[in-house]
Chains A and B, each alone.
Chain A
């Protein structure tokens, strides 16, 4: 809870700047790219969270990564600030919350679509249109494959879950049989 409160404060601050200069989507993408690397690379995570390395040294590492990822100076400065305030460990939460804020500002919804088998482009398009009409917003699909669903798809939009998986239907069938 405290983590989310701190993360929200930083995400909102960056969002305010992004809304002022109209580049909030760019900052979001950059933040996503850096966070992706931060979560994948354990060594990088350890170094950036370790106070044994000086702040300047850690900021220099971020600077270097920023160059390679072609991050804007504002995003790099934001990451420097996180190092300076010893808040680097909240980066994944900050990024997630920033994504929510950016989606809200752009009037779009993020859909986490889990499918039992890969979907054809046509089906994905139909699904996207259907979900867009359902929520009344532009949707961004984040598709994952999970064979344990057996068949069908599950869509999570915010706090809502639209479950059309065979796995869930079988679970319901099991409950009905056990009760009957």
Chain B
């Protein structure tokens, strides 16, 4: 009975020893590998985290820069728009001045023409009146006097 118990204990002890003896190395190795793989995974995760953070910072920087670029483009566009506006206004003013000048010139010209027409009209009316009077009152004697004057003029030309 005691022996039986002792034998069992002994058996158990031998089993433990054998397990320890043969199982120690693979188990330790397995555990080490497992430990290293976990460590590597942790390191990789850390690196990935760092890279991710780096990327995040980069993108954040880019976004900030993009905002700046957009702002720059906006400012440039505003300036160009201002310049274009000024140019158009300048051109319009010049054109307006030109049209005004031309209109003034045309008006002056028109006025001159009208004055000339009035003078011509008046001259024509005056002469027509004189012609009518002459036709009515010119006698053969007057005609003879005119011919005499003409003869005198011809003689003076010699």
* Residues of chain B within 8 A of A170, CB atoms compared: 127, 130-131, 134
Does A130 belong to the interface (CB within 8 Å)? yes
Give 28 pairs: A residue, B residue, CB < 8 Å, sorted on A. Answer: A117-B140, A123-B144, A123-B147, A123-B148, A127-B150, A127-B154, A130-B154, A133-B154, A133-B155, A134-B155, A150-B131, A150-B135, A150-B138, A151-B134, A151-B138, A151-B143, A151-B146, A152-B147, A162-B154, A164-B149, A166-B134, A171-B127, A174-B123, A174-B124, A175-B123, A177-B122, A179-B119, A180-B119
How distant is A166 from chain B, measured CB to nearest CB, in Å? 6
Chain A interface size band reads 20 to 34
Residue of A131, A153, A178 near B120 (CB, 8 A) is A178
Residues of B within 8 A of A (CB): 116, 119-120, 122-124, 126-127, 130-131, 134-135, 138, 140, 142-144, 146-151, 153-155, 157-158
Does A69 belong to the interface (CB within 8 Å)? no
The number of inter-chain residue pairs (CB within 8 angstroms) is 82
* Residues of chain B within 8 A of A153, CB atoms compared: 146-147, 150
* Secondary structure of the B contact surface, majority rule: helix
Residues of A within 8 A of B (CB): 115-117, 119-120, 123, 126-127, 130-131, 133-134, 150-153, 155, 162, 164, 166, 170-171, 173-180
Residue of chain B at shortest CB distance from A131: B154
Residue of A119, A162, A164, A174 near B127 (CB, 8 A) is A174
